[in-house]
Amino acid sequence: MTASYIPILAVDVLGSVAMVVIALVCLYKARILRNMDLDNAVFLYLLWISTGFTIFAISRAFGHILKQFLILTANTQTWHAISSYSGSINTASFMLVGLITIFFNQIWNINEKILSGRKKLENTHIELMDLNQTLEHKVVERTERLTSSEHKCRRIFEQSLDTIIVTDSEFKIIEINPAGITLTGYPRDEIIMKKMTVGSLFADPSEWDRISNKIGSDEYILNEESEFLRPDNETLLVLITGGIDYGAFGCAKTYHFIIKNINEKRQIEHQIAQTDKLAALGELSAGVAHEINNPLGIILGYAQLLLKLAPDHQDDLKIIEKHVLNCKTVVSDLLSFSRKGSTELSIVDINKVVDGVVKFLSNHSDFRNIEMSLNPYTGDRLNILGNEQELSQVMVNLVINACHAVDGKGNIDITTQKTGTDKILIMVKDNGKGIGKENLSRIFDPFFTTKPVGQGTGLGLSVGYGIIKRHQGDIRVKSSKGKGTQFIISLPADRTSDLG
Amino acid sequence: MPKKNPYSIQLFLKFLPVMTIAALILLPIDGYATQLHAGSEGIITHQMGHIFFLFSMVVLIFTVTGKGLDKQKGWRLVQYSAFFFILWNLDAVTAHFFDNQIHAVKIENISLWKMKIITNNDSSLLAWFYYILKLDHLLCVPAMLFLYKGLSRLVDDQRQMMVKKESR
C-alpha cells in the first residue's frame, strides 16, 4: 500500500520536539514543587518522574528526528547502525520511569509517615510551648504568691508587738524581731553576732533548764511564765510559747518562740487586787472605827468629868484619858484610810506642799545625817484640787518612812514632775534597805508594819493611800531589797486654773 | 598407627588460590563466561519495557484513586496523563509486534512525500492500521501535556496552601 509520508513525518518530528519542550517544562514545574517543600517525598518523586520523562523524551526525540533525517537523506544504513543505541536508551528511560512509578505507593506511604510525624512534632512543639508558657505563668503566679506570703510573714514578724525569736538547734538566736530587741534590751548585732542563746535572757538559769527540757520532751511549750533579765538589771515577767520546726526541703531544725511581756499586765492585776483588798479593809475599818468612836467619846467624856469631880484618882484618870485619846487618834486614822471623812478642797500647789514638808523635816534631829535633795518641776505651777493639810501629812509619812529605811543616814530624793497636761507626779526615793518582795503587797494594809512594836501603828501608809485615793490619785511603790525604795504619787492636775 | 598432621588441611587451603591461578595460567582452556544476546532479544527487552511502563501507569492510576488523590484536580490530570501513556504503550507494543517481532509489516520510502507499506498478506487493513499506529505521538504528547497541566495545578495548590498557612 502506498501512503503519504508527510503526516507521519510531521507528527514524528513535531511530536518529538513537543515532547522535549513539554518534558522540560514539566521538569521545571516539578523543581518548583520540590523547592516549595524539600521534605515532601511525593514532590521528590514527581521530580524523579519528570527527570525520567525528560530523558525519555530527549532520547526518543533524538532517535526519531535523526531517523527521519537519515532516511530522508538515504542514509538508512547509518540509522540501522545507531538505531539500536537510540532504542536502548529509550527503553532504559521509560523503564526508569516505570520503575519510579511502581514505588509511588511506598513513596506516598513514607511521605504520609513523614508528614504525620512532622504534624505530631508540630503539635508536640505547640503543646510544649503551651506547657512552657503555662509553666512560666504558674512560676510567675507562684512566685507572686510566695513573695506576698513572705511579705505577710515578714510584716507579721516585723510589726508584731510580741517578741518572735527563731533559734538554731542549739537555741542560739538567728532571728529576732524589733519587739524582741525592745523587750530584751540587747542590740540586734550583739544578739545575732555573738550568737546569744534564749537561755541567756532568763533571770534564773534553772528556769531555762526546766523549759528547754520540756521542749526537748514535748516538742513545745505553751504559756510558760518566767522572768527575763535585761542588761540594765531590770526583770520582766514574760509568757513564753515555743515549738520545734523540723524544716522543709532539707532545712536545719529550728525553734520558734513567741514571748509576751506580761509585766505591766501582772502589775495592773496586782494593783487591782491591792485596791480591792484595801477597799474591803477600808470598809471594815470604817465600820470598826465608827462603832468604837462613840464608846470612846463617852469614855473620854466621863474620864474628863471624873478628873474634875474626883481629884483623888487624878493619875489613874489621866492614864485613861491619854489612852482614850490615843485610841481616838487611831480611829481617826482609820477613818482617814477608809475615806469616810469629809475634807475641804482647794487649789494646792504641790511644789509648795513638798517644799514646806522638806523645810519642816530638815530641821528635825532624825534628819541630821540625811542628805535630802528636792528637785521641783520648774515649768508651770503644779496645781491640784485637794486638801493641803492631808497632802502634807502623806508627804511627811513618806519622808519619815524613808528616813527610817536609811536608818538615819543616807539620801532621800524628792522630785515633782508633770506628765502631759493632766498628771502630776511626786516621787520620794531613798537608798535604804528596801522592801522585801513578800512585803510589797502588804505595805498599804492597815496595821502592817515591819518596825518594832511601839515604834509605829502601821497606819501611816494606809492613811496616805486613803488620802491619795480620795484625791483621785494613785500611789505606787518600786523597791529592790538592799538598793532602796521609790514611792510615786500620781495626782490629777487642776485644769480650772489652766483655763482661768 | 601413624600420627595425623593437624596442619595438613590448613596448608592445603592456604595454597589453594595460588594453585588455582597457576592452573589457569599454565593450563588454558576455552571460556564462555559471557552470554551472547543475539537475535530477537533486543526487541523482546524493548517490548517488556513498554509492558512494564504500561503496568506502572496502571498502578499509578489505581494508587492515585486508592489514596483519594483523584479528588484533587492536579492528581486527576496526572491520572489522565497515565491513561494516555497506557494507550501510547499499547500502540507502541502493537506496532513493534508487527514490524520488529513477526515482521508482518515493512516500510519503504519511495520519495519525500510517499511511502510504501508492505504487509505479508497484502492486507490493506493491516497496512492502514499500522499507518495509524505509527502516529503514536498523538498519544504521548497529550500524555505529557496532561502531566504538565497536573504539575502546574499541584504547584498552584501548594502555593495557595502556603499562603493560607502563612496568613494563619
User: Domain residues of chain A, as ranges?
Assistant: 6-102, 160-261, 268-337, 346-499
Whether the per-residue pLDDT at B6 is higher than 80: the answer is no
Q: Which of A94, A97, A102, A113 to mutate to test the interface with B (most CBs of B within 10 A)?
A: A94
**Cα distances (angstroms) measured from residue A304 to each of A108, A297, A318, A319, B40:** 145, 11, 8, 11, 182
Cα A446 to Cα A463: distance, rounded to the nearest angstrom = 8
* Under 8 Å between Cβ of A117 and A48: no
Tell me the pLDDT of chain A (500 aa) as tens digits: 788 888 888 888 899 899 999 999 999 999 999 999 888 888 888 898 898 888 888 888 888 788 778 877 878 788 878 877 877 888 888 888 888 888 888 888 888 888 888 889 989 999 999 999 899 899 999 999 999 998 998 899 889 989 999 999 889 999 999 999 999 999 988 888 888 999 999 988 899 999 999 998 999 999 999 989 988 888 888 999 999 988 777 788 899 999 998 988 887 887 778 777 777 777 777 777 778 888 888 888 888 888 888 777 788 888 888 888 888 887 877 777 666 555 678 888 999 989 888 888 887 778 888 888 888 888 778 888 888 888 888 888 888 888 888 887 889 999 998 887 688 999 999 998 888 878 887 888 877 887 776 666 777 888 888 888 888 888 888 888 888 899 999 999 887 755 44
Architecture of the domain made up of A346-499: 2-Layer Sandwich (3.30)
Q: How many CB pairs under 8 A join A and B?
A: 135
Contacts of B72 in chain A (CB under 8 A): none
Q: Which three cell numbers stand for residue B6?
A: 593437624
Alpha helices in A221-362 (DSSP H): 263-309, 314-337, 350-362
Q: Class of A268-337 per CATH?
A: mainly alpha
Please give the distance of CA A55 from its chain centroid, rounded to a whole number.
89
Cα A331 to Cα A70: distance, rounded to the nearest angstrom = 166
CB-nearest to B114 from A4, A97, A101 is A4
pLDDT classification of B7: cutoffs 50, 70, 90: low
Nearest C-alpha neighbor of A422 from the set A466, A477, A383: A383
Q: Considering only alpha carbons, which residue of chain A is nearest residue B155?
A: A33
E strands present in chain B: 105-109, 114-119
Q: Considering only alpha carbons, which residue of chain B is nearest residue A69?
A: B112
Same fold across A268-337 and A346-499: no
pLDDT score recorded for residue B2: 46
- Is CATH 3.40.50.1820 the right assignment for the domain spanning A160-261? no
The helix (run of H) or strand (run of E) holding residue A117 is: helix A104-159
What does the CA dihedral A469, A470, A472, A476 come to, rounded to 10 degrees?
-20
Cβ contact, residue pair A25, B148, below 8 Å: yes
Sheet of A484-492: strands edge to edge? A370-375, A410-419, A423-430, A484-492, A474-480
CB-nearest to A33 from B56, B135, B151 is B151
pTM of the model: 0.48
Interface pTM, i.e. ipTM: 0.75
Residues 6+ apart with CB under 8 A from A277: A445
Cβ contact, residue pair B119, A1, below 8 Å: yes
Contacts of A7 in chain B (CB under 8 A): 135
Whether the per-residue pLDDT at B76 is higher than 90: the answer is yes
Cα B44 to Cα B38: distance, rounded to the nearest angstrom = 11
pLDDT score recorded for residue B75: 93
Contacts of A46 in chain B (CB under 8 A): 151, 154
Cβ contact, residue pair B115, A4, below 8 Å: yes
Cβ contact, residue pair B117, A1, below 8 Å: yes
Contacts of A108 in chain B (CB under 8 A): 63, 67
Whether the per-residue pLDDT at B23 is higher than 90: the answer is no
pLDDT classification of B77: cutoffs 50, 70, 90: very high
- Cβ of B131 under 8 Å from any chain A Cβ? yes
**Cα distances (angstroms) measured from residue B61 to each of A34, A47, A104, A133:** 22, 18, 10, 48
The helix (run of H) or strand (run of E) holding residue A224 is: strand A220-229
Place of cell 492597815: A446
The helix (run of H) or strand (run of E) holding residue A346 is: strand A346-349
Give the model confidence (pLDDT) of A419-462 as tens digits. 876 889 999 999 988 888 788 878 888 778 877 766 667 778 88
Contacts of A26 in chain B (CB under 8 A): 144, 147-148, 151
Q: Which of B99, B144, B160, B164 to mutate to test the interface with A (most CBs of A within 10 A)?
A: B144
- Cβ of B58 under 8 Å from any chain A Cβ? no
Q: How far is B98 from chain A (nearest CA, A)?
A: 16
Cβ contact, residue pair B50, A30, below 8 Å: no
Q: How many CB atoms lie within 10 A of CB A424?
A: 21
- Cβ of B57 under 8 Å from any chain A Cβ? yes
Cβ contact, residue pair A95, B52, below 8 Å: yes
Contacts of B148 in chain A (CB under 8 A): 22, 25-26, 29
Cβ contact, residue pair A3, B117, below 8 Å: yes
Q: Which of B140, B158, B160, B168 to mutate to test the interface with A (most CBs of A within 10 A)?
A: B140
Cα A446 to Cα A471: distance, rounded to the nearest angstrom = 19
Radius of gyration for chain A, computed over Cα atoms and rounded to the nearest angstrom: 58
Q: Considering only alpha carbons, which residue of chain B is nearest residue A94?
A: B53
